[in-house]
Amino acid sequence: MLVAPASAVAARPTLGVVDVATGHRVAVVRGTAGSEGWTSVRWTPDGSALVAVRLERRGLVVRRYAIAGGTRKLRDLGDALDGVLNWDGTLVAALYDAGNGIPGGRGGVAVRDVATGRVRFRLPQYAEGDDLYENGLEVAWSRDGSRLAYLAEERRGRTLRIVDAGSGRVLRRVDADNLYLGPEPFSPSGDRMAYAVGDYEHLALLDVGSGKVRRRAESQIFPVAWAPAGERLAGDAQGGVVVSDEQQRFGPPQAMPEEEAVELIRWSPDGTRLALLIQEFRHDRSKLAVMPVSPAPGPARIVIPYRASGLGGIQWSPDSRRIAYSG
C-alpha cells in the first residue's frame, strides 16, 4: 500500500486525474491545508468517479468522488489505521490495532463490503506494539477480487497469507522473512504470484494451489508487477525498468539516473503501458512517468513533474487514458 508522504501533510492535498496523452491535470477535490491525503484510490468501472480511502477528523473513511464534482461517504472504518480497496472499490481491507472482533487481542485486518459494511472475515496479526502498523498495511488484491494477499506477523513469524475473499479461508501460507510484496503481484487468474525474496531481491514465482515456489536467477528486481493479461512481468532492476515477454524472459533495462528509483509500477488495463512512480532520494521528491511496453518497450515520458509534496494513490482509469493520483 502506498501511503501519502508525511511531507504532504503540511500542504493542501489534492486528489486529481491526469490525461496521459496531453498531460492535462484536473483536481477532483482538494483537502484543507494540513489535512491528510488519500491512500488507496480506485476507479469505478465506468470511469466516472474515484473511490478512495482517507483519514478524516473522526476516523478513516471510504468516499466516492465524481470526476465531474461531488462527493459521498460510502463507509466509516472507525479507528482503522489504514485501508486498501480491491480493484473496483467494492471491498476494503482495514487494519486495526485492537478490537473489531479480530481474534488474538492484538488486532489485524477486517475485510468488509463497502456498500453494506458487512464484515466478510477477519485476519489476526500478532505483532507487538508499533510493529503492527509501522510499515502500513501490506495487502494486495487479485484483479477479479477473488483473492487477497496479506503480509504480516503471526505466532509462527512473518508470513504471507493468500486468502479466498469470499469465504476468508486461508489458501496458502508462505514464510515471509525477507519477502517483498508489490501492489500487483497476482497473475491475471489469481493462481500465481510474483514477488522478491532474500537480501538480493531474487524474483520468485509462487503457485498458490500447490505451494511450489520457483526462484528465478534474476536478482534485485523490485517492485515487480504482473500484467493484466498473459505472462508478462515488469520490475525495477536497480538501474532501469525491465519488461518480460510472454515466456517471462526479460529484455534490456530502460536506464534511469542513478539518483532515481522506481517506487511503484502499475500496468495499464490494456497492457500497453506502465505508470512509474519515481522517487529522487537526494531531494525527497517524486514524479509520475508513463513508459510504453507494447508492441515494444520504449523510453519513459514524464506526465507529472517532480513534486516536493510527493505523490501516491496512483491508479489507471479503466480505458487506460487517465491516471488518478494523490499529492
pLDDT band (50, 70, 90) for residue 134: low
Render pLDDT for 245-265 as a digit per residue (tens, 0 to 9): 999 999 998 887 777 889 999
DSSP assignment letter at 186:
B
Sequence-ordered list of residues with C-beta below 8 angstroms from that of 306, at least 6 positions apart, any chain: 280, 283, 285, 286, 287
Q: Is the pLDDT of residue 100 over 70?
A: yes
Longest C-alpha distance within the chain, in Å? 52
Distance CA 185, CA 187 (A): 7
**Mean pLDDT (the chain, rounded):** 90
Q: How far is CA 140 from CA 1, 36, 289, in A?
A: 8, 22, 22
Mean local confidence (pLDDT), 209-224: 91
**Annotation: CATH topology of 6-326:** Methylamine Dehydrogenase; Chain H (2.130.10)
Cβ neighbours of 52 (radius 10 Å): 28
Give Cβ neighbours of residue 310 (< 8 Å, ≥ 6 apart).
4, 5, 7, 8, 284, 285, 286, 327
pLDDT at 106 over 80: no
Q: Residue 130 — pLDDT band, cuts 50, 70, 90?
A: low
Residue-wise pLDDT tens digits, 218-240:
888 899 999 999 999 999 997 78
173, 240, 243 from 131: Cα distances, Å: 20, 32, 34
Helices (H) and strands (E) in the chain, counts: 0, 28
Q: Which three cell numbers stand for residue 195?
A: 514477488
Q: Strands 179-180 and 49-56, how do they pair?
A: unpaired
C-alpha cell at 40: 488507496
Specify the pLDDT at position 7: 42
Q: d(Cα 151, Cα 185) in Å, to the nearest integer?
A: 12
**pLDDT value at position 6?**
42
- Alpha carbon 68 to its chain's center: 25
Mean pLDDT of 9-26: 88
Our measurement of the distance from residue 161's CA atom to the centroid of its chain's CA atoms, rounded to an integer in Å, reads 17
